[in-house]
Amino acid sequence: MSRLPDRVSAAVLCYLAAPVLVFVLGWLKPLPGIALAALLAWALYRLCADMAPDEGTKRSLAVLAWLLGLSLAWSALGGAGHLVYANLDWRTRDAVYADLIFSAWPPSYGLEAGVDLILRSATGFFLAPAAVAKFAGVGLAPALLMAWCALGVFLFFLMLPLPTAFNRRLLLLSLAVVFFSGMDYAAIVLVHGQTPVFPLPLEWWRPWTYTSLTGQLFWAPNHAIPLWLGTVLIFRHRGSPGLPGLGIVLLAVLLFWTPFAIGLAPWLAWAILQRRGSVASAVVGISLPYWLAALFLGALGIAYLSLPGIDPIPLQLGASAGSNGASTGGWSLPDTFTAYVQFAAFEFALLALLLRPSPTAMRQALGLAVTLLLLLPLIRIGPSNDWMLRISTPCLIILLVLALADLDRSLADRRQKLRRSALLIALGIGAITPSFEIGRALTWQRTPPNFGATLVEQQGGFRPPHYLGRLEMPALQALFRAPSPVPAGPARRAAMSAP
């Protein structure tokens, strides 16, 4: 996968940058908005100008049609278009999406301490379709969001090391992406002695969890898609001389999608070291357009996401609350250690042991992924395990890439065939977890879009501190347009029913 930049990479970069352009033009006053948009466009032009076509990855129309169809189906099953059942988290995401459609930007939820309380969240996933829905009508909003989601998934497929010819190997490997997961079913059966109930979620069997790709797409595509694309973009260009500049612009852009873009930093450093041998020497060689775009956009993103919030309602938590709400505070040290070993073994370690990358750089990538996955359960930030869920995503994508490369490799002897068989068994057991997610989408009642209530109304009148912030920073007050009140439920429902 190490090659010069290409058109697919340019498309991925433009896809990730599009919401940032929408943000700076829609949220900022005209003069700073146009200036920042021009700066980003300049950096994108410079990056894309070096992205020559890669003749080695031309795909037939049949391959593109299959990958696009698979992307649409995967996204539709995830609930983005509300054609099927959508997981509970979509109620909140729908409210945020609708608030962006119904209100002028930035959306305001009233005053707090004398200043506007605005939407303060990484809304990159929603901004582009919301901007179109403002003109096309809210009736098209679900289809627009599903199309945007499917486009991101389609670009992800194009960046993976999949066969370029339409054959059985392409079908199997692309489906392996959809069903890539840790062995949650086996863990529940062997550790707990219970049989999971279909199609309930499988992934909360311990106070820690690493989510399958399907689970990530179905529950949090707003975090998953940018992390997927950012990871494969860095991995694809780890040997490119332009990687440092690409990397710093990419991290600044991804801040508007997800604050967990920080999880890409170890992989960017690793990729730079593969060619340069020193991160410091690589940083010195970054050209001015990239520095300016990264510094100004990064500063804006950090300032926006770090706006002071309102005081949240205190949560009654144990010493170490787990992802399923269960506290691990009562566990003894031996119990905790045993649980940790079981979790690591079933989620990634057994799979990693079956992978045999031959290039030194790929062995280093495998080692870094395993090391980070081992360390993340020992670090806790916040009352939930979102830190683990999102920061682990790049590591899981690297394991996926290595697994795809392994499955596409020719076998030389009986020992390699036995290892391949064991790898297929591990992946097959892991595929049960996404099957439960897909089964729930297909068998449970369809979920309609939740566009009739504001974010605060959807939260029962509670103003969520992780979504809202006080616009009291003078610099942002000078940059942002005047906040606009979010239309309340009755007004927006009337707008929805209007012809």
Secondary structure (H, E, C), 320-374: CECCCCCECCCCCHHHHHHHHHHHHHHHHHHHHHHCCCCCHHHHHHHHHHHHHHH
User: Which residue type does 251 have?
Assistant: L
Task: List Cα–Cα distances, 159 to 7, 88, 156, 228, 256, in angstroms.
Answer: 11, 30, 5, 10, 22
> Which among 259, 264, 270, 198 has a CA at the least distance from the CA of 230?
264
DSSP state letter for 28:
B
The span from the CA of 254 to the CA of 259, in Å, is 8
3-state secondary structure of 446: coil
Instruction: Report strand pairing: 107-112 vs 115-119.
Output: antiparallel
Q: For Cα atoms 10, 161, 438, give the angle at the middle one, nearest 5 degrees.
A: 95
Q: Which pTM was predicted?
A: 0.94
Enumerate residue ranges in the chain where pLDDT < 50. Answer: 1-4, 312-327
Residue 492 in tokens: 């927006």
Quick one: pLDDT at residue 317? 33
b/e per residue 460-483 (b: at least 16 CB within 10 A): eeebbeebbbbbebeebeebbeeb
- Centre a 10 Å sphere on the Cβ of residue 414 and count the other Cβ atoms it contains: 8
The span from the CA of 191 to the CA of 189, in Å, is 6
Contact by Cβ (8 Å): 146, 139: no
User: Which residue type does 430 have?
Assistant: G
> Which among 67, 119, 70, 72 has a CA at the least distance from the CA of 98?
119
CA 312 to chain centre: 26
* Helices 124-136/141-159 angle, 10° precision: 140
Radius of gyration in angstroms for the set of CA atoms belonging to the chain, rounded to a whole number: 23
3-state secondary structure of 470: strand
Which residues, at least 6 apart from 266, have a Cβ–Cβ distance to it below 8 Å?
368, 372, 394
3-state secondary structure of 107: strand
> Which among 494, 441, 380 has a CA at the least distance from the CA of 80?
441
The span from the CA of 481 to the CA of 105, in Å, is 7
What dihedral do alpha carbons 87, 91, 97, 98 form, nearest 10°?
A: 140
Percentages helix, strand, coil for the chain (3-state, rounded to 5) are 65, 5, 35
User: Which residue type does 471 have?
Assistant: L
Alpha helices by DSSP H, listed for 192-287, are 213-219, 221-236, 243-254, 265-275, 279-284
> Which among 86, 98, 81, 88 has a CA at the least distance from the CA of 150?
81
Length of the chain counted residue by residue: 499
Place of tokens 């042991």: 353
Contact by Cβ (8 Å): 436, 200: yes
The span from the CA of 324 to the CA of 303, in Å, is 32
